[in-house]
């Protein structure tokens, strides 16, 4: 039976290190600052924002929230971002997605200064990740890399399969595994012989958004399985893209849902904010 990777424990360890670095920075006269912008009343977004603010408080990062009404125009949001770009004590800017229909998400993401883009979604930061000369890493893929590292697995030469090709997880995840010298295959909805490809993998990262999509007969014995999915099963219970109960019997390591990748995503956001503040200290 595979070892379950406790994302909460790994996140706590990383946050402890972030807190120590933050305290040193504050002693040198710089308090890292994160501005979080939320537009509208999406309940899931509100929960995420609350968790981010709580995490900032835990490690000593100052957070400021800008809650805007649902009817906010794109021009009004861009005006706020311009002010935050110019604000010296704001090191990172995070605009919570999704945004209301009247606002173009791509326009908003492009308006954030790359040096304050702690989500690493700006095209400049995406390009830097591609060539391996990055300032920030996208939070979820960076969290996945920490979890793999926790298992003691050396990615070098391993066959790695990423299921999903989104700009937020799939594509950057593939790049990070490639930078770690893995041999990477990206699978998606039009992949032929997907089951056979996944079955050959030493490391599987599932980010497809389909409940229990990865079944035990798709996983090689001893593979490391990281589940990025967040779905609901037929009983309304939270579950991932991996059939956890079945796959844990063949995997060497596996992340649960919840409490696997989730806690790491916010932790990597804190790490990026700290890194952004370091440039201000310099």
Catalytic residues: 52, 96, 119
**Which H or E element spans position 30?**
none
Distance, in Å, from the CA atom of 279 to the CA atom of 221, rounded to the nearest integer, reads 45
**Burial tier of 44 (Cβ tally within 10 Å: 0-12, 13-18, 19+):** exposed
DSSP per residue over 190-236, as a string? T-TTHHHHHHT-SEEEE-S--TT-B-GGGS-TT-EEEE---EE-TTS
Nearest to 147 by CA among 226, 239, 248, 219: 226
Using the CB atoms, write b or e for 113-150: b if 16+ within 10 Å.
bbbbbbbbbbeebbebbeeeebbbbbbbbbbbbbbbeb
Q: Closest Cα to residue 110, out of 89, 124, 98, 99?
A: 124
User: For residue 43, what are the CA distances in angstroms to 108, 192, 276?
Assistant: 21, 38, 29
Distance, CA of 221 to CA of 217 (rounded, Å): 10
What's the CA gap between 267 and 252, in Å, rounded? 25
């Amino acid at each position: 039976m595979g070892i379950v990777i406790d994302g909460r424990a790994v996140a706590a360890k990383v946050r402890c290190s972030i807190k120590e670095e933050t305290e040193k920075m504050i002693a040198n006269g710089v308090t890292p600052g994160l501005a979080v912008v939320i537009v509208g009343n999406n309940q899931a977004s509100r929960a995420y924002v609350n968790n981010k603010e709580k995490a900032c408080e835990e490690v000593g990062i100052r957070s400021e929230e800008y809650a805007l009404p649902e009817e906010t125009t794109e021009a009004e949001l861009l005006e706020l971002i311009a002010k935050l770009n110019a604000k010296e004590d704001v090191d990172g800017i995070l605009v919570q997605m999704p945004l209301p229909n009247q606002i173009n998400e791509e326009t908003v993401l492009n308006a954030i200064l790359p040096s304050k883009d702690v989500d690493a979604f700006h095209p400049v930061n995406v390009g830097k990740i591609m060539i391996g000369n990055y300032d920030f890493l996208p939070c979820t893929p960076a969290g996945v890399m920490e979890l793999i590292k926790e298992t003691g697995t050396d990615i070098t030469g391993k066959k790695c399969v990423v299921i999903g090709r989104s700009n937020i997880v799939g594509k950057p995840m593939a790049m990070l595994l490639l930078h770690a010298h893995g041999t990477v295959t990206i699978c998606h909805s039009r992949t032929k012989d997907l089951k056979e490809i996944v079955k050959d993998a030493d490391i599987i990262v599932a980010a497809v958004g389909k409940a229990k999509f990865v079944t035990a007969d798709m996983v090689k014995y001893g593979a490391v399985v990281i589940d990025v999915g967040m779905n609901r099963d037929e009983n309304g219970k939270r579950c991932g893209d991996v059939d956890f109960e079945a796959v844990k019997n063949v995997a060497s390591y596996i992340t649960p849902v919840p409490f696997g990748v989730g806690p790491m995503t916010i932790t990597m956001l804190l790490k990026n904010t700290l890194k952004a503040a370091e440039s201000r200290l310099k």
